[in-house]
Structure 1
Amino acid sequence: MTERILGAYETGRPGPTVVVVGAIHGNEPSGLLALERVLTQLRRAEVPLRGRFLALVGNARAHAAGERYLQRDLNRDWVPDAVDALRARDPALDGPEDHEQRALLAVLDPLLAQAAGPMVFLDLHSMSSHGPPFAVLGDTLRNRTVALSLCIPTVLGLDETIDGTLMSWLVEQGHVGVGVEAGQHDDPASIDVHTSIVWLALEAAGAVDEDCCPWLPDHRRSLRGHALELPPVLEIRHRQRTFDGDGFVMRPGFRNFDRVTKGQPLADDAEGVIEATLDGHVMLPRYQPRGDDGFFLATPVRPFWLDLSARLRRGSLERWITHLPGVHPHPERPDHYVVDPGMARHQLVNLFHLFGYRRRHAEGERLVFSRRRPDHGAPAPDAAEPGPIEGDR
């Protein structure tokens, strides 16, 4: 294989393409170790895989150095303008992460060009803190189908607070893209979690089943053991952004999913104490020196709202959005709406989420929402009944 392709497996049977990326942050080795395990088991058991499975190295140079990144976060520049600028620039001017991104594009571009339908992409991460694993995704129905099959909590809304992730870029092109946070970076259990996740993702995509992989129930039981008494679905409500030199230090002892109350001290920086802005669960508390995020706060999502949103996205009620007070079609961008500042309340944001729209950014005092495209104009499985990905883009 190559520096970028850790391994591949296919048997010539028709089926989905499943691509898994490990170590897009170089100090997160468990994903690559898990992928090596899965590739070894596929080959030894001669699993009659449907479709093809591809394992990729995200940031090879940072991984070799044991660093999250060398010059810039490789998982923050996958926005169309940045990708186009990289393609147009002289490679002689590349920094380390520019080189890594070009190498990933050299593998991904042919896959995307040849795709006859939605491919399934998985991005494997670990954390600087301890805590149970969870899935993160842009809230499309296709993404839900895979994420809800993984037997771990699902966290929505991270794509509204962090721009430029690899998975978001792929989802915007009509594919499935789910990230998975396992345990702590150096915990051997994180390798076990990622191994189980890859097998269940292959099953969710329709590439394998229990007839050819009788070990799948063991992986389900293992992951469910991590999720006991945790909310099955949560939504990010607050991001604590950090900056170089701001002195951010997370207070010790926090783990993923720990309950916190509004006003509770969580961290400190040069300006003083940082308190929780709401009652909820702390997510991804940062106990490493590098990174743009100090922590996130999330609240549970009731199953009723997931079911309602799936039904609304398949219906024709979306046209009524333009009749809401203070909501206007964007004058220059299709599939975008502009919301006047007086109407940009929490309830209206939730309504846009129900219809599959993402809060993008502010233009002056107005909020802009964009449609998550794979939910519209293409068939998608029932969000409440995960199954194989079907249908064309």
Structure 2
Amino acid sequence: MSEINIPNEYPVELAPPDLSPYKDGNSGIPYVWRFDSGAPGPNVMLSAIVHGNEPCGAIALDRLLKNDTRPESGSLTLAFMNIDAYDAFDPLDPNATRWIDEDFNRVWDIATLEGERDSVELRRAREVRPALAEIDYLLDIHSMQHLAPPLMMSGRHARAKALAAAIGVPERVVGDAGHAAGRRMRDYGPFDDPREKNTALLIECGQHWQASAGDLAEEAAIRFLVATGVLSADALDRFTIPPPPQSAFTVVEAVTIQNEAFVFAQDFSGGEIIAKKGTLLGHDGEIPVVTPEDDLMLVMPSKRLWRGQTAVRLARRDT
């Protein structure tokens, strides 16, 4: 297993569910379940545990499966992704099992998937890739390192922000172009093609192990299924409190680490709005990193501060 030596600052409030009952799947791919309504409609997917230490998505999919959730139109695929990392999860060292060999969410460019490189994550990505072949709408469920406001990451295209608005949660939606270190699953193939209609979102449900992350993952999943027409609006009756109005942002800069040591100037956790251009965020080696304009939101400052990784993204509020 790759060493991820990051101390844990937060209590583990979530109990990762036992996924062994879902091992066989019903799609020909282990841990991937597909249900067809027999009625016309979109093919949609909910995916979880792309990172093995993010149990909120597993909780949401486990609840949907236990409740016999079935599509009323189109088809529904429920996919548990990085099983090996998830099975290695240790609440006494929960940061250590984000992945086994490499980040599962940085391998989704075609050249990498069809190349000669090998890892636990690449083998699993190649195994589950056929399940994505005809998916019209994807919601990939994640969580964050820090206690910070949840985010919906919509990628580069307006159609994804429109879907995020139809879902209605969480309160903040962020358009971005991903990471220099590799392509995410939500940016795979037609999801990031401006000529296509296929649409993917990635939700960050809050800090990895806070209890509310599991509940938000389930609510977002159900709202996604209603927004895409796979479930009727009756599925929302259980949510009696309307969500607050959303705010949309777009990333204007992703700070990619160029040197061996990156140090933040403050203990940022994400969601902070930095009012003044030129505010010091940190140092990349000896190089100061400052905000390039006024009123930028910090998006998911990282603890994985090594060369090639994204230290933080800077997002401007949409007008």
Structure 1 gaps of 5+ residues are 303-393
Secondary structure at 1:203 match in 2? helix
Aligned equivalents of 1:278 and 1:146: distance in 2?
28
Aligned equivalents of 1:15 and 1:103: distance in 2?
26
Aligned to 2:204: 181
Aligned to 2:123: 99
Aligned to 1:79: 109
Computing the radius of gyration from Cα coordinates, the structure with the larger value is 1
Secondary structure at 1:50 match in 2? coil
Q: Does residue 50 of the first structure (1) align with residue 73 of the second (2)?
A: yes
Relative to structure 1, the CA distance from residue 121 to residue 216 in structure 2 (aligned partners, 3 Å threshold; closer, same or farther) is farther
Structure 2 gaps of 5+ residues are 1-21, 25-29, 90-96
C-alpha RMSD of the superposition:
2.7
Pick aligned residue for 1:248 from 257, 262, 266: 262
Aligned to 1:59: 82
CA contact (8 A) 2:166 2:227 kept: yes
Aligned to 2:250: 235
Shift, 1:106, TM fit: 4.4
Relative to structure 1, the CA distance from residue 143 to residue 272 in structure 2 (aligned partners, 3 Å threshold; closer, same or farther) is closer
Shift, 1:47, TM fit: 5.7
Aligned to 1:165: 184
- Structural mapping, 1:326-337, within 5 Å: none
- Structural mapping, 1:1-393, within 5 Å: 1-2=22-23, 4-5=30-31, 7-41=33-67, 43=68, 49-66=72-89, 67-85=97-115, 89=116, 94-108=118-132, 112=133, 115=134, 119-151=136-168, 152=170, 153-159=172-178, 163-170=182-189, 171-172=191-192, 174=196, 175-211=198-234, 213-215=235-237, 217-218=239-240, 221=242, 224-225=243-244, 232-242=247-257, 246-260=260-274, 261-271=276-286, 273-279=288-294, 280-288=296-304, 292-302=309-319
Aligned equivalents of 2:260 and 2:289: distance in 1?
12
Aligned equivalents of 2:41 and 2:110: distance in 1?
29
Aligned equivalents of 1:288 and 1:163: distance in 2?
15
Aligned equivalents of 2:273 and 2:192: distance in 1?
33
Aligned to 2:19: none
Shift, 1:288, TM fit: 4.8
Relative to structure 1, the CA distance from residue 101 to residue 214 in structure 2 (aligned partners, 3 Å threshold; closer, same or farther) is closer
Greater fraction of residues in helix: 1
> How many residues align structurally?
277
Aligned equivalents of 1:158 and 1:40: distance in 2?
35
Secondary structure at 1:18 match in 2? strand
Secondary structure at 2:46 match in 1? strand
TM-score normalised by L of structure 2? 0.76
Secondary structure at 1:148 match in 2? helix
Shift, 1:200, TM fit: 0.9
